[in-house]
């Protein structure tokens, strides 16, 4: 049987784009994305989608109202669906057992309970959210303990590997699709049904099927490996700064070894985003629970190195500005955790901004896609700033990089937006206090050119350069 109706629970960064691409590629399937937030659903039904993702607008415009629907009628959508994707968030627990490390599965569990309560026919329930190993077992236990007579369930693990900023392309051309399921006739039949959905645009050889636990762990492992590469190159960036080696040259030389490969070797101010930290903390917690402390310590070090990198970069800024930034005007360019997204979750810019504010600096912030309100929320959080009220007087948000940099002592670059490469740095230099500093936290500007203009440039993974005029 080919599935006719799909319900996606959770209209976030993962659920929204994933369901939109399924609708695009499977015109025969009706896809409904539901969310408990009325506001979020209203945004999905408006001209300004709740998330910025290149290519997403076009996909939604093409399918919305035809075979793609965004709705708050969760009940109807669950009842009608053959396949239900769970894409609700799984934040790190901030209380109780596992606080600060374990994934909080209350939303996933809530979704499972809701399905059990509403479903009157057999369902395939798909874990899209990244979850700890053996979560599928908890979901199936909830479903089977609460099932209505005659209703059966299969739970599949189908983790999503899309990265923000390239989500649509990643969904259209994934390296692989992973489906984990029960090793039984019913389990294999459910896997087959989900395969049929993906086979509408993905070659069968790229669809991997395996046991549920392997699939769940593979997702955590993939994120841990990616983050580990960044922490590895970032650790070497400190060695480069101390020795005169250039981390880009090292990354090039290392990455040309086909066994290592060149991707994810860009040294930076540190990795951010909703997944890497959360998933590694989760992996560490699982290892501790399994009494594998050496393995837990190993992965914890990836996070520790990332914290070190963010602190090291912030400290460099302060140290270079004569060890004090009190009342200095500093332009912060880029606030998102990477380019081509408006998402600020775990963005290293938050860490840098907090440190500079704590030291008494005045910040002028510009990001092409992050809303002013979001920046204020991120920086007013009581965990971030000791005196939240004070920050309003010390932060201004700008609509252009030129305004943000005017009359400042230094520019701190936290996100690698393409438009920052194109800026007229002569014009910027002319309007800044002197000496004018640039701290390139992404190592992506033309430092030689900036030096010629007169800037003092500092960047990750390369020794300080003197100004062109001195
Ligand atoms: C997802 C995941 O589910 C997470 O595990 C993974 O690691 C990253 O991707 P994401 O899509 O980024 O998270 O989260 P978010 O943008 O916060 O979206 C989650 C949505 O689920 C929100 O719109 C929220 O309102 C909705 N939700 C949450 C529900 O509809 N019901 C709930 O009970 C909880
Ligand atoms: C990541 C995974 O890539 C994706 O497969 C998974 O589904 C979700 O988590 P995402 O967090 O959206 O995706 O973006 P990603 O491109 O992985 O970047 C994460 C962070 O690492 C960003 O802050 C980015 O700037 C940083 N990064 C990435 C580096 O610092 N250097 C690199 O070489 C690559």
Q: How far is CA 354 from the centre of its chain?
A: 20
- Would you list the DSSP string of 445-468? S-HHHHHHHT-EEEETTEEEE--S
Q: Which atom of ligand 2 is nearest to the CA of 265?
A: 33
Ligand 2: atom nearest CA of 269 is 30
At 382 the pLDDT is 54
Protein residue with least CA distance to atom 32, ligand 1: 107
Q: Report H helices in 127-265.
A: 135-145, 167-172, 185-198, 212-243, 247-255
The pLDDT of residue 41 is above 90: yes
What is the residue with the minimal CA distance to atom 28 of ligand 2? 264
26 given a catalytic annotation: no
State the pLDDT at residue 465: 54
Mean pLDDT on 298-319:
98
Residue nearest to atom 21 of ligand 2 (CA): 271
Predicted confidence (pLDDT) per residue in 172-222, tens digit = 999 999 999 999 999 999 999 999 999 999 999 999 999 999 999 999 999
Candidate of 12, 164, 337 to mutate for ligand 1, largest count of ligand atoms within 8 Å of Cβ: 12
Using CB distances shorter than 6 Å, the residues near ligand 1 are 9-15, 35-37, 40, 87-90, 107, 110-111, 129-130, 274-275
To test ligand 1's pocket by mutation, which of 35, 70, 89 has the most ligand atoms within 8 angstroms of CB? Answer: 89
Nearest C-alpha neighbor of 136 from the set 118, 117, 109 = 109
Residue nearest to atom 25 of ligand 2 (CA): 338
Q: How confident is the model at residue 468 (pLDDT cuts 50, 70, 90)?
A: very low
Q: Which run of H or of E encompasses 330? A: strand 329-333
Average pLDDT, the chain: 94
For 401-417, the pLDDT digits (tens) are 999 999 999 999 999 99
Backbone torsions φ then ψ of 267, nearest 5 degrees: -65, 150
Q: What is the pLDDT of residues 128-152, one digit of tens each?
A: 988 888 889 999 999 999 988 999 9
- Write down how long the chain is: 470
Ligand 1: residue whose CA is nearest its atom 26: 10
Point out the ligand 2 atom lying closest to the alpha carbon of residue 275: 9
Percent of the chain with pLDDT over 90: 89
* Lowest pLDDT segment from 131-135, 170-174, 299-303, 425-429: 131-135
Looking at all shown ligands, the one closest to residue 37's CA atom is 1
% pLDDT > 70, the chain: 97
Ligand 2 atom closest to the Cα of residue 264 is 33
- CA 265 to centroid of ligand 2, rounded, Å: 11
Task: Work out the pLDDT band at 16, boundaries 50, 70, 90.
Answer: very high
pLDDT (tens digit, 9 = 90+) per residue, 234-287?
999 999 999 999 999 999 999 999 999 999 999 999 999 999 999 999 999 999
The ligand 1 atom at the shortest distance from the C-alpha of residue 103 is 5
Choosing from 20, 38, 87 the residue with most ligand 1 atoms within 8 A of its CB, the one to mutate for a pocket test is 87
Which residue's CA is the nearest one to ligand 1's atom 7?
130
Beta strands 456-459; 462-465: pairing state: antiparallel
Euclidean distance between CA atoms 292 and 223, whole angstroms:
20
Pocket of ligand 2 (CB under 6 A): 160-164, 223, 226, 230, 264-266, 268, 271-273, 275-276, 337-338
Which one is catalytic: 63, 275, 287, 414? 275
- Is the peptide bond prior to 303 cis by the omega test (within 30 degrees of 0)? no
What confidence tens digit (pLDDT) does each residue in 63-96 have?
Answer: 999 999 999 999 999 999 999 999 999 988 889 9
- pLDDT of 386 > 70? The answer is no
| pLDDT of res. 463 | 85
Residues 207/169, Cβ–Cβ less than 8 Å: no
pLDDT of 128: 93
């Amino acid at each position: 049987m080919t599935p006719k109706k799909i319900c996606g629970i959770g209209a976030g960064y993962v659920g929204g784009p994933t369901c939109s691409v399924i609708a695009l590629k499977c015109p025969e399937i009706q896809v409904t994305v539901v969310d408990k937030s009325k506001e979020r659903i209203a945004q999905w039904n408006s001209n300004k989608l709740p998330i910025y993702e290149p290519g997403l607008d076009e996909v939604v415009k093409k399918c919305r109202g035809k075979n793609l629907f965004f709705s708050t009628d969760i009940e109807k959508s669950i009842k009608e669906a053959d396949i239900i994707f769970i894409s609700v968030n799984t934040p790190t627990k901030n209380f109780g057992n596992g606080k600060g490390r374990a994934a909080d599965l209350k939303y996933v569990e809530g979704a499972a309970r809701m399905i059990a309560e509403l479903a009157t026919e057999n369902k395939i329930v798909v874990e899209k959210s990244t979850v700890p190993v053996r979560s599928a077992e908890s979901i199936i236990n909830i479903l089977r303990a609460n099932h209505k007579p005659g209703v059966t369930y299969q739970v599949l693990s189908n983790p999503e590997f899309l990265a923000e900023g390239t989500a649509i392309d990643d969904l259209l051309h994934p390296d692989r699709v992973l489906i984990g399921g029960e090793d039984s006739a019913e389990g294999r039949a459910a896997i087959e049904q989900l395969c049929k959905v993906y086979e509408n645009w993905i070659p069968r050889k790229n669809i991997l099927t395996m046991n549920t636990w392997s699939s769940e762990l593979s997702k955590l492992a993939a994120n841990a490996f990616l983050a580990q590469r960044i922490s590895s190159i970032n650790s070497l960036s400190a060695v480069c700064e101390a020795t005169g080696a250039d981390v880009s040259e090292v990354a090039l030389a290392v990455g040309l070894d086909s066994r290592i490969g060149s991707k994810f070797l860009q040294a930076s101010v540190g990795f951010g985003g909703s997944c890497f930290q959360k998933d590694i903390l989760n992996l560490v917690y699982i290892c501790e629970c399994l009494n594998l402390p050496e393995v837990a310590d190993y992965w914890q070090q990836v996070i520790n190195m990332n914290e070190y990198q963010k602190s090291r970069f912030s400290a460099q800024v302060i140290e270079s500005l004569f060890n004090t930034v009190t009342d200095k005007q500093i332009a912060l360019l880029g606030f998102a955790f990477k380019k081509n997204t408006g998402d600020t979750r775990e963005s290293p810019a938050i860490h840098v901004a907090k440190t500079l504010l704590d030291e008494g600096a005045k910040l002028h912030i510009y990001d092409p896609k992050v809303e002013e309100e979001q920046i204020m929320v991120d920086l007013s959080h009581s965990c971030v700033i000791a005196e939240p009220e004070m920050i309003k007087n010390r932060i201004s948000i700008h609509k252009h990089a030129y305004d943000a940099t005017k009359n400042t002592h230094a520019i701190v670059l936290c996100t690698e937006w393409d438009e920052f490469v194109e800026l007229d740095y002569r014009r910027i230099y002319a309007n800044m206090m002197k000496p004018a500093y640039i701290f390139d936290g992404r190592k992506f500007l033309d430092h030689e050119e900036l030096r010629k203009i007169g800037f003092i440039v500092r960047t990750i993974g390369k020794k300080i350069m003197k100004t062109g005029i001195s």
